[in-house]
Amino acid sequence: MSDVSPLLSLAGAVAGSGVDAPVAAHYGSFNVEQRTLASGEGFVDLSHRDVVRIAGPDRLTWLHSLTSQAFEGLAPGGWISALILSPQGHIEHFLAGSDDGTAFTAWTEPGHGEALLSYLERMRFWSDVTVTAEPSLAVVWRPVSTGSSTASSTSFIPRDSLTAYVDAAGPACGMWAYEALRIERGEPRVFVDTDHRTIPNEIGLIGTHLDKGCYRGQETVARVHTLGRPPRRLVLLHLDGSENRLPQASTPLVGADGREVGFVGSSARHFELGPIALGLVKRSVPVDAQLSVDGMPVAQETVVDPEVGLHVRPLR
């Protein structure tokens, strides 16, 4: 686990839980913090994410051949996400980052950096690349106002500069606010909203380029995309709010007949929508079917088209 963030010493900071324990869940009011982020202000400390650096002249062509994403010709400063799949097309690793002209720096979910590094190291062969962990770098996320809409920006900064960053980009907002807005966008968190059987088509083909050359697992992605009808689909779930609790990740989703039809991933309390979550459900489940999780009724909202596996919302 990452070292505890220095921002947990800020007034009002309350530590998160589970893999998010090293950073703040909130700094006093997650509803106020959601409104701050939604208005295009503030930033979120994601310094518990694992950071890796891939350097060397072959790095982009090498990543292009290993992952589901097109890295060849990536311009310096361009942000990109990618998946590494099993031969059967299941998601094994996730990374997102940018290239500075000499190295590609990327983050992955907390606790998954070591496995990613190990895999990349094994796949170097004769490629002129070096792969290193970068624990001295912290990930920060901030919204960026663009007139009538809000985009976002993710950056890597020296970990020992986090406290100073508050003065430049504050106010700091916690994971609860960040997660609520992420879930509202229908943006899956790999390893939380996915399981060992998840294929990219089920979660909207994030980090996946459909027109690039061969990579491990591509046959599954291409076949499902061409024929349509991925086996499961990502959905936004609206809990009825009758109980003051959220479902735990991996809790089964149940249909009206009592049969398990999927599972819940991440969940949060949204300042406008109330309690929401992301879930993976079987393709055969009607898009208007009423479901339940841990005894709580939930309604579905389509995030990934059940026929073609494409995300129906623009991901920022």
The string of pLDDT tens digits covering residues 177-195 is: 999 999 999 999 999 999 9
CB 244 within 8 A of CB 275: no
Query: Is a pLDDT exceeding 80 seen at residue 243?
Result: yes
Domains in the chain: ranges and CATH: 1-227 (3.30.1360.120), 228-311 (2.40.30.110)
Mean pLDDT of the chain: 93
Q: Which pTM does this prediction carry?
A: 0.94
In the prediction, which pLDDT does 227 show? 87
101 torsion bin: left (phi>0), alpha (psi -120 to 50), beta (else): left
Query: Looking at residues 8-23, what average pLDDT do you find?
Result: 96
Per-residue pLDDT tens over the stretch 87-124 = 999 999 999 999 999 999 999 999 999 999 999 999 99
Strands 260-270 and 274-282: antiparallel
| Phi, psi (rounded to 5 degrees) for 197 | -100, 0
Position 1 scores a pLDDT of 47
Please report, for residues 5, 177, 316, the alpha-carbon distance to residue 141 in angstroms, rounded to integers and kept in the order given: 15, 12, 12
What is the C-alpha separation between 138 and 166, in angstroms, rounded? 13
**Helix 175-185 with 30-38: angle, nearest 10 deg:** 50
- pLDDT, position 174: 98
> What value does the mean pLDDT take over residues 55-68?
97
Number of other residues whose CB lies within 10 A of the CB of residue 242: 9
pLDDT at 145: 65
More confident residue, 256 or 152: 256
C-beta of residue 103 within 8 angstroms of C-beta of residue 6: no
Ranges of H-type helices in the chain: 30-38, 59-66, 113-122, 162-169, 175-185, 218-227
Confidence check: pLDDT of 158 > 50: yes
pLDDT of residue 316: 47
Among the listed ranges 11-20, 128-137, 216-225, 306-315, which one has the minimum average pLDDT value? 306-315
Residue type, 30: F
